Structure 1
């Protein structure tokens, strides 16, 4: 049965997001998406203007979902201070290796792909707005003391990004990474030492590296074949011919 265009686009978006989380943003190719959906590359090309745009859309989709979850964790807390504690916990005590890896992939691709860079900047602005707002509410409630919530928010985000990159290669203890950011924020927000680290897991009791490569994140697989390569792909999992009667099955085969 022929699927509606919006159904096809949703399937493609979901497949691209799954590939990015498991194998990295570079793994989102015309051929890999087609294989995941068991359709022909031509059908994917019919719905996707370019793979650069699909990767940028994938970055936006995944990062927006992550930020929504972070907002929910902070908003559910009874006080702004508890909300900040919840944010730190979500950043460091939940499995985030796949998400952190997508951020790193996006920054790398953004160096050469303007549409990906624009998507990343938009998401970074959204994070900045979220954290600045959280800290400003804390100042208004008398829980924090800083004259520049925006600067402290940028400090938090930059340090969290770096420490999450460290986590991808299991550099240093996860509790120590969280404690480092907590200590910096305590000084920046005029909080007593230990305020933000209260309730954090003790070293050696958190069950291992949260979200690190040793907790089941798939290894980067072999590079996907170039969909423009005229030679047939040497794979035992080649995509079957699509049953979708969409005339695009016989159109162009590259984005």
Structure 2
């Protein structure tokens, strides 16, 4: 049985999925072009045709992995319900105690991004999108009179920084923080940022 010829877009997606799997298995620093190629039974040259360097492949793989999370975030924040409910759902989903995957991948990526400009730009762009989405819903809640928050952008930065920090603790240091305590801290931080919530 002959294998169907993939379009350029399909081939890129196949390579990116394989790159994410190899990064998760080997780590960002250790993964090689040949690991990705051999996992699919293709040549190194084919991988390099689509991504001219390992750095570009890794950066694209991180963007690809994050797009699922961003799509899920946009779906949660786009629901037809109160801003408060949407924020709580997003925070609980994205928190390292929730169902969002890939925290180990991102922690490694942050470390490598200190030295790799291409990955640093991807990570920075994704971080901005996340904060902007959270800040936007906080601003909607303020405009609707649900709660008070004089600085939605600052609140989004503080909330996401808490989630990122908890992810490092829970992922890198097993048992350092009980998961129930981390969930409690996230809920308390959200309550502090939003001030008194008006019953609707």
Q: Hey, what does 1:37 align to over in structure 2?
A: 40
Q: Hey, what does 2:91 align to over in structure 1?
A: 88
- Structure number having the greater helix percentage: 2
Matches within 5 A, 1:132-171: 132-168=135-171, 169-170=173-174, 171=176
SS in 1 for 2:102: helix
Alpha-carbon distance in 2 for matches of 1:4, 1:84? 39
**Gaps spanning 5+ residues in structure 2: where?**
none
- TM, length-normalised to structure 2: 0.86
In the alignment, does 2:164 pair up with 1:172? no
SS in 1 for 2:138: helix
Deviation per CA, 1:77-135: give whole Å up to 9, x if none: 62111111101220234344x51112212211111111110111101110111010010
Equivalenced residue count is 192
Q: Hey, what does 1:61 align to over in structure 2?
A: 64
Contact 1:138/1:144 (<8 A) preserved: yes
Alpha-carbon distance in 2 for matches of 1:172, 1:77? 34
**Gaps spanning 5+ residues in structure 1: where?**
196-255
Alpha-carbon distance in 1 for matches of 2:7, 2:67? 25
Structural RMSD (CA): 2.1
Deviation >6 Å, runs of 4+: none
- TM, length-normalised to structure 1: 0.69
- Bigger relative contact order, structure 1 or 2, given CA contacts below 8 A and separation 6+? 1
